[in-house]
Amino acid sequence: MFKRSLIFSLILLLPVFLKAQGEGRIEVLDANAFEAKTTHIKGALLDVRTSKEFSEGHLQGAQNVDWDGKEFSDEVKKLPLNQPVFVYCGGGYRSDEASKWMQEKGFKNVIVLKDGYDHWKELGKKVVIPPKATTPDDK
């Protein structure tokens, strides 16, 4: 009787195990670990803040894909599902939401910067500050 119950339980749980195997993982890393991984592992680096925020400074090599923008889905779907994707925002909320969305869409390895760009900058980590565009009014 016990053996039959065990087999029945395993059959019921099999779909749960199979689904878990197919899902990607989301890894949330502090600034030091995130920096080390982006240095040693090839993958896309996504800044999911607004273009205005991005223009005020970002991580070296980051691609700006605004989480709240209309193009987010189309741009992210161009990335390979099996390659790591590093994601950050200003404080952590948008990158958390974006990483969950990416996992649902089949991305296998999403790495999120804990506490975001603002904390990264507070720690004195390297950032890229693009030169401000000059306009005729600046002269």
Residue 16 lies in a domain: no
Per-residue model confidence (pLDDT) at position 23: 77
Q: Over the stretch 46-55, which tens digit does the pLDDT of each residue have?
A: 999 999 999 9
Per-residue confidence (pLDDT) for residue 137, from 0 to 100: 59
Residue 49 lies in a domain: yes
Domain coverage including residue 116: 22-129
Is residue 136, in this structure, part of any structural domain at all?
Answer: no
Task: Kindly state whether residue 12 falls inside one of the protein's structural domains.
Answer: no
Structural domain contains residue 121: yes
Range in 3-7, 92-96, 108-112, 121-125 with the lowest mean pLDDT: 3-7
Phi, psi of 5 (to 5 degrees): -65, -40
* Structural domains counted in the chain: 1
* Residue 2 pLDDT greater than 70, yes or no: no
Q: Is residue 11 situated within a structural domain? A: no
CATH of the domain at 94: 3.40.250.10
pLDDT at 115 over 90: yes
**129 Cβ neighbours under 8 A, 6+ residues apart:** 56, 57
